[in-house]
A = this chain, B = another copy of it.
Amino acid sequence: MGELIVTTFDWVPETPRGYVRDLRLCWALEEAGLPYRVEGVPFHSRDAGHFSHQPFGQVPWLTDGDISIFESGAILLYLGERSEVLMPADPHRRLEVIEWLFAALNSVEMASLPWSLFHFAGDTHVTPGKQTLDNFLASRLQHLESILAQREWLAGTFSIADIAMADVLRLVDRFDGLAQSPTCREYISRAMARPAFVKAHADQLAFYAAAD
């Protein structure tokens, strides 16, 4: 393994601070005790070099020697394969982690992130499509509420699946979308109390405070 470098934007507006997706990587790296550093790439001018690492012009990406990976889900899986703290090597338990990682990103965040875009835009219009989207998220949260009532972490022990799911739910909670989901709120409180989250979150806020 080479030197691990997490690349994120060198500056972001106030609103996304504490929620930029490099947090998912830094949180995992802190949990695993893997040394890494964070580098900034211009937020305002995204050049060909940026797109060669992240084809959608987004962040983060991870470099590990001559390897460069984008998509926080893919990076969490990459790190999970390097640390049993993040993902057990046992094939059955590994599968459980992977299905819950995809569930966080493709079953829950696929509903919650678009829902949050309406909140960011201050949009309170009630239209048929918006109601469908609201119901889509409510259904996902309702089922998740039942699941989390029976377990501390999604795949038995804490894993990359919880990093993804807790970070996804944190943004829902920001807009008070977990009012009917007390068990989900307890789950994110547990996750956010972990020293690795606390450090990664504080580091992101400090990184952007220093950039102003």
Residues of A within 8 A of B (CB): 51, 55-58, 67, 69-74, 77-78, 92, 95, 98-99, 101-103, 105-107, 109-111, 113-115, 117-123, 125, 127-133, 136, 139-140, 143-144, 146-147
Check A129 against B106 for contact (C-beta < 8 Å). Answer: no
Say which residue of B57, B74, B99 sits within 8 Å of A98 (CB atoms): B74
Closest residue of chain B to A55, judged by CB?
A: B147
Contact A117 to B95, CB < 8 A, known contacts A56-B140, A73-B102:
no
Check A118 against B99 for contact (C-beta < 8 Å). Answer: no
Bound Cα distance A131, B118 (Å): 9
State how many angstroms separate the Cβ of A25 from the closest Cβ of chain B.
13
Bound Cα distance A117, B43 (Å): 31
Of A67, A130, A139, most buried by chain B (CB within 10 Å of CB) is A130
Closest residue of chain B to A135, judged by CB?
A: B117
Q: Which residues of B contact A78 (CB under 8 A)?
A: 95, 98
State how many angstroms separate the Cβ of A197 from the closest Cβ of chain B.
20
Say which residue of B74, B110, B125 sits within 8 Å of A110 (CB atoms): B110
Q: Which residues of B contact A119 (CB under 8 A)?
A: 129
State how many angstroms separate the Cβ of A47 from the closest Cβ of chain B.
14
Say which residue of B56, B110, B132, B147 sits within 8 Å of A118 (CB atoms): B132
Closest residue of chain B to A137, judged by CB?
A: B114
Q: List 13 A-B contacts (CB under 8 A).
A: A51-B143, A55-B146, A58-B107, A71-B107, A73-B105, A74-B102, A105-B106, A114-B115, A117-B133, A118-B127, A118-B129, A119-B129, A120-B132
Q: Which residues of B contact A110 (CB under 8 A)?
A: 105-106, 109-110, 113-114
Q: Which residues of B contact A58 (CB under 8 A)?
A: 107
Contact A107 to B56, CB < 8 A, known contacts A95-B67, A125-B127:
yes
Closest residue of chain B to A119, judged by CB?
A: B129
State how many angstroms separate the Cβ of A24 from the closest Cβ of chain B.
11
Q: Which residues of B contact A71 (CB under 8 A)?
A: 99, 102-103, 106-107
